Structure 1
Amino acid sequence: MTHLRGVKPALTRDRDPLTKAPPAPKYFTTYAKSEWKRVMPRLIEDRIITKADLGGIEDFCVARGHIREIEDLFRATGGPPDKVLFGMQNRAMQTARQLAAEYGLSPTSRARVQGQTEDEDDDNPLEVA
C-alpha cells in the first residue's frame, strides 16, 4: 500500500460552487442532520463545495453522527466503555478528522482556503502557461 506524504495541495475555490445548501439526506440520523446544518453554511461561504463533493460531506456527517450515537451509548450504560464500541468510535473520529481536513473544516485547512485572495483569477504576468 502506498501512502502519499508531504505537503497537501492548497484548497482552491471552485469555479462552480454550490450557492445554496441542499437539504440533509433523509436517511441521516438526528446527529448527522445537525452536523450537516452546522457545516454546510461554512462550505457554501468558502465556495469550495460542488455537487460532486456532496458524497464526501455526507460521509463526514455520518461519521460525526456515529461518534455522538456511540457516546450516548457509553453514557447510558454508565460503566466502562465497550471495547468494540470504543474501536468503532475511534475509527469514526479518524475518518471524520480526515474528511474535515479534506473539505476545509479544520483550522489548518481553513487557513489554506482563507489565505487565498478574491483576485486569484487575475492573470499573473509572471505565470508561465
Structure 2
Amino acid sequence: MPKKAKNKPTPKAGRSHKANTYSGQLPIIPKPPKYFNGYSKEKWEELAPVFIEKNMLSQADLSAFELLCRHYGDAMDLYEAMVDKYGSLANYFVDRNSQTMGEYLAYHKAISSYTKMLIEFGLTPAAKKKVPIPEIITEEDTLTKMLNE
C-alpha cells in the first residue's frame, strides 16, 4: 500500500487555493467576426445581447454562435439571390427540378444547418423544453443599494 503524503501542498504566493470561480460568461457583447456582413451581422447583433443577458453565451460558445449566424446569413443571401433573379421562388421552380439547382441545394443546406443550430441553442419551441435556460445575471447597482438603506 502506498504511503500517504504527510504534508498538504501549499498554494504558491499570490495564488488562492480556492477553485476558479470564473463562470466563463462574457462581460460585454462581442463584436461580430470581421468577415460577417449583411444578414449574418444583423443576426449576431440581434441575438448576442439577448444571449448575454440570459447567461447563454460564454467564450466557449462563440464558435457555435458564429455558425448559427453564418448559416442564417448564407441562407438569406441565397434566398435573396433566387428571388431577385426570378421574382419569387415559385418562378424559380418553373420547368426545373429542385434536385439539380445549385442555388436551391445550397439554400436548403444552409437552412437545415441553421435549424440544427437553433435546436442546439434551444431556440425552437420543442427545444426550449429540453434545454434549461440559465438564470439571468443581475448586477447590483451600488447607488440604488445605498439609497435604499
Is TM-score (shorter-chain normalized) higher than 0.5? yes
Q: Structure 1 regions of 5+ residues with no counterpart?
A: 1-13, 119-129
Q: Give 1:98's aligned amino acid.
A: K
Distance 2:113 2:103 in 1: 15
Q: Structure 2 regions of 5+ residues with no counterpart?
A: 1-21, 137-149
TM-score using structure 1 length:
0.70
Which structure has more relative contact order (CA 8 Å, sep 6+)? It is 1
Match for residue 100 of structure 1 among 115, 118, 126? 118
Q: Is 1:47 aligned to 2:55, yes or no? A: yes
TM-score using structure 2 length:
0.61
Aligned-residue RMSD, C-alpha? 2.2
Distance 2:132 2:44 in 1: 20
Query: Is the CA contact (8 Å cut-off) linking 2:44 and 2:69 kept in structure 1?
Result: yes
Tell me which structure has the larger Cα radius of gyration.
2
Distance 1:113 1:15 in 2: 17
Query: Is the CA contact (8 Å cut-off) linking 1:35 and 1:61 kept in structure 2?
Result: yes
Q: Give 1:113's aligned amino acid.
A: P
Count of aligned positions: 104
Q: Percent identity?
A: 22
Distance 2:106 2:41 in 1: 20
Distance apart, 1:77 and its partner CA: 1.1
Give the ranges of 4+ consecutive aligned residues of structure 1 lying more than 6 Å apart after TM superposition: none
